[in-house]
C-alpha cells in the first residue's frame, strides 16, 4: 500500500499552496468476510467526514463520495474487493492514513466476536 501524490515533490511555498488541491490515493482491499456492509460503511463515512479533503472511493467502474454512507453502500464491496481511496485537499495525506488504517484493522471486526452480526 503506497501513498502516491500527483503533485510535485519539492517542498516549496508554492507546493504548500498547491497542496490544497492535491490528490493523493491509496489502494486498499476489503478484508472483512462480510464485505463493506453497513457498520464499516458507517465507520468509513464518519472518518472521512472528519477531514476537510474530498474523499472518494473507486471500485472498478464506480466512483463514490466516501463521506456518505449511502454512497459507500452502493459499492456493495464484498470480501477481497480492491478499492482505491482518493483524497483531494489540504489534509489529504492524514485522511488517507486514517482511512487506510480502518481497512488495515478490518474495521475492528473479528470473526469470532462478530460471527452473527453484519
Partner 1 sequence: MKFSDFVADDAIRATVVADSKEGVIREMTQSLVDAGKISAAEFESIVKAIMKREDLGSTGIGRGVAVPHTKHPSVDRLVGAVAVSPKGIQFESLDGEPVRLFFLLVSPPDRPGDHLRALENISRQLRDESFCKLLISAKGPAEIQHLLEEADVRGIVS
Q: Which residues are catalytic?
A: 37
Q: In the structure grid, which three cell numbers stand for residue 20, read together?
A: 490544497
* Cα gap 53→50, rounded to integer Å: 9
Closest Cα partner for 60 from 43, 83, 37, 90?
83
Question: Nearest distance from residue 82's CB to partner 1, in Å?
Answer: 16
Under a CB-based contact definition with an 8 Å cutoff, are residues 36 and 72 in contact?
yes
Nearer of residues 69 and 102 to partner 1, judged by Cβ: 69
- Count the site residues for partner 1 by CB under 8 A: 25
Decide: is 102 part of the binding site for partner 1 (CB under 8 A). no
Contact pattern from residue 9 through residue 48 relative to partner 1, giving x for each residue in contact according to CB under 8 A and a dash for the rest: ------------------------xxxxxxx--x--xx--
Amino acid at each position: 500500500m503506497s501513498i502516491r501524490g500527483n503533485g510535485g515533490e519539492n517542498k516549496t511555498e508554492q507546493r504548500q499552496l498547491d497542496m490544497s488541491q492535491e490528490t493523493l490515493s491509496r489502494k486498499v482491499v476489503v478484508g472483512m468476510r462480510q464485505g463493506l456492509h453497513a457498520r464499516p460503511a458507517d465507520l468509513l463515512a464518519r472518518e472521512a467526514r472528519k477531514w476537510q479533503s474530498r474523499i472518494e472511493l473507486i471500485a472498478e467502474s464506480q466512483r463514490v463520495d466516501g463521506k456518505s454512507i449511502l454512497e459507500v453502500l452502493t459499492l456493495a464491496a464484498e470480501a477481497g474487493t480492491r478499492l482505491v481511496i482518493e483524497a483531494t485537499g489540504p489534509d489529504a495525506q492524514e485522511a488517507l492514513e486514517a482511512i487506510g488504517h480502518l481497512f488495515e484493522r478490518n474495521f475492528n471486526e473479528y470473526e469470532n466476536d462478530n460471527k452473527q452480526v453484519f
